[in-house]
Amino acid sequence: MEGDAGEVDDLVMEHKVFRNYCRTTFLGVVNKRLTDEQKSFIQSTPFAWVMLLGDKVKMSRTLLRELCSRWVERRQSFLIRCEVVPLSLVDVCLGLGLRVVGEKIDLHKAADESHTKTLFESNNINVKMIFDEIMKFDNDGCIEDFCRLYILLCLSEFLLPNRMGIVHSGLFSVLDDLGQLKKFNWGLVVYEYLVNSLCSASMCITNESSTSHIHIFGCVYLLQIWALEHLFSYKTKVHPRRIKFPRILNWMDFTLGDHEIAYALEKNLVIVHLPVSKEEFENVIVKEAFEEGRHAYNILKPTKDDIGKMLKKLQKWFIELRTRLFDYQC
């Protein structure tokens, strides 16, 4: 979607409620019940890291609001002060450990003859139904079918969630052949689904839509990983740790307060190009990501139009602040 960074009125933003549907509620419960055999089988898929997620991995609503207001649609980037910082496929690869090359996935493809679809009695399948099937799964049952259900839950609850929790029809046939999962471009489908939602949200904000609730679909938690990597780099120095891959495993225990978020957006050092460890770059999918996304690491400078619109926003903010101070003094 094309467009410019919107001129956002803070008074309008105060009345907007930002909702997202990226959760690990069911995944966290299932992860505590996995058998050694199930873990071993899942370990061979692109989603092995999901087994380490707890049940309380959540996105800061304040951070979500702030990032949505700074989204530059035509650049697929965030305008942080005078820096245009991209949300790229490399961020997806480093953050979620997903391959960003390979065969594309059509989320809307019909699943009429899918074996995975036959694991359910209903035609319209949601996240809760997947969870229920997993919870009643007999440990003596087919390990391949359990793995299909587990990955379907991972995709539908955390990586590709939507408002109604409905499973995308195109996922069923992809999961039929577990041996072929690594050939697909999982990173791209996660990226595009999230970016499309960000663009829709940005349009609602820019056009000052009367809607009071703005819904963001997709793996919104990726935005928190992005912010922690690009805006809160000092945390890795305050809390030194071995860099894990994917990087989501470094940040699951971190929370961000509203004051900390506001300060970071106005004062913190902005890391435009993420450093990569030697160990990470030895990973094949990381090498692929950098080769595929080299253009994303070109230095992007904000246009005069981008800066002008951000200055208008700041002017409105200062006028409102001055009015509030005057009212307070009176």
Cα–Cα distance, 14 to 77 (Å, whole number): 23
pTM of the model: 0.83
pLDDT at site 234: 65
H helical segments located in 49-157: 61-69, 89-96, 127-135, 143-154
Quick one: pLDDT band at residue 1, thresholds 50, 70, 90?
A: very low
CA distances from 158 to 22, 108, 169, 237 (A): 5, 18, 16, 29
Residue 206 pLDDT: 76
Q: Which helix (H) or strand (E) holds 263?
A: helix 258-266
237 has pLDDT over 60: no
pLDDT at 264 over 60: yes
Residue 106: HSE in the Cβ half-sphere, 13 Å Cα cutoff: 5
The per-residue b/e assignment along 25-52, b for 16 or more CB within 10 angstroms, e otherwise, is ebbeebbeebeeebeebbeebbbebbbe
The pLDDT tens digits for 269-317 are 899 888 888 899 999 999 999 988 664 444 344 556 656 655 665 565 5
Structure tokens given for 225: 């990983």
For 93-138, write each residue's pLDDT tens digit: 999 999 999 999 999 999 888 999 999 999 899 999 999 999 999 8
- pLDDT over 50 at 5, yes or no: no
Compute the average pLDDT of residues 239-255. 80
- Write out pLDDT tens, residues 168-206: 999 999 999 999 999 999 999 999 999 999 999 988 887
Average pLDDT over every residue of 252-281? 89
Matching residue, tokens 């703005």: 214
pLDDT digits (tens, 9 = 90+) for 302-314: 556 656 655 665 5
Give me the chain's average pLDDT, please: 86
Mean pLDDT of 72-100: 94
